[in-house]
């Protein structure tokens, strides 16, 4: 099938890798935010409002990671193009993003994809506004599809699942995952900050495996600076 035989897309993921390589506990939410949801999945904000907040906060890099769709990303991309043509400067960099449900160690997890070609056929099953099933639902297939499309695959909020984070991270690494959402606010505090105890447990695992760190607020509400 075309989905399994299409060659990978060569993209400038090295740039994003360099950004992820410098992620620290204070990188989010005022410099970077790589986990945001719009009204095109289960968030409350319109993508234009997300862009407005990102601009006002002077964020440098961000991604809209709606569940199984890039419609929100496309609207935000057009908004940034319009602003640039209107003369605005110092606009943030928007990266392609998506959040995909997958099975890992018989546990449903979420895998974030970044800097991929949204038109690549390998990702088509995952951009239909709903979770997949069968072989497409397996984490290894999701990770491979993101890679086929030239992107970076990241395990989202590893301590939110019913299996220990260590087990999931180690298994995801075996399957080729590129990074882990190391910095995450499991307590949904305001102002946002990564949960120190969980970060202290996860960070050494990620580093021992040679994986990238990422961060994001996982915003679903009316402020991109917190989850709800």
> 109-148, pLDDT tens digit by residue?
999 999 999 999 999 999 999 999 999 999 999 999 999 9
CA distances from 124 to 38, 135, 142 (A): 20, 14, 11
Q: What is the pTM of this model?
A: 0.94
Q: Which residue range is the domain that position 126 belongs to?
A: 12-215
In a domain, 7, yes or no: no
- Which tokens belong to 34? 């790589």
- 191 domain residue, yes or no: yes
Report yes or no on 1 lying in a domain: no
Is position 79 within any domain?
yes
Q: Is 77 a residue whose pLDDT tops 90? A: yes
Q: Within a domain: residue 113? A: yes
Yes or no: say if 112 and 65 are a contact pair by the CB < 8 Å rule.
yes
Query: What is the rounded distance in angstroms from the CA atom of residue 222 to the CA atom of residue 64?
Result: 14
Kind and range of the H or E run holding 107: strand 107-114
Count of structural domains, the chain: 1
- Report which DSSP code applies to 67: B
Query: Cα–Cα distance between 194 and 187 in angstroms, integer?
Result: 8
Q: CATH no. for residue 85?
A: 3.20.20.140
Residue 220, domain member (yes or no): no
């Amino acid at each position: 099938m075309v989905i399994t035989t299409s060659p990978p897309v060569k993209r400038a993921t090295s740039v994003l890798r360099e950004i992820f390589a410098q992620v620290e506990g204070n990188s989010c939410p005022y410099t970077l935010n790589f986990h945001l949801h719009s009204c095109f999945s289960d968030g409350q904000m319109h993508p234009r409002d997300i862009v407005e907040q990102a601009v006002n906060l002077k964020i440098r890099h961000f991604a809209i990671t709606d569940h199984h769709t890039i419609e929100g990303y496309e609207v935000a991309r057009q908004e940034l193009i319009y602003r640039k043509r209107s003369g605005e400067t110092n606009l943030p960099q928007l990266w392609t993003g998506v959040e995909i449900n997958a099975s890992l160690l018989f546990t449903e997890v979420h895998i974030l994809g970044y800097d991929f070609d949204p038109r690549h056929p390998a990702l088509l099953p995952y951009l239909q506004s709903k979770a997949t099933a069968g072989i497409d639902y397996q984490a290894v297939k999701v990770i491979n599809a993101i890679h086929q499309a030239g992107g970076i695959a990241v395990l989202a909020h590893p301590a939110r699942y019913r299996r220990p984070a260590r087990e999931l991270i180690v298994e995801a690494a075996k399957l080729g995952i590129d990074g882990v959402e190391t910095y995450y606010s499991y307590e949904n505090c305001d102002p946002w900050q990564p949960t120190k105890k969980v970060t202290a447990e996860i960070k050494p695992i990620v580093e021992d495996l040679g994986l990238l760190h990422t961060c994001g607020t996982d915003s679903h509400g009316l402020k991109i600076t917190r989850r709800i």
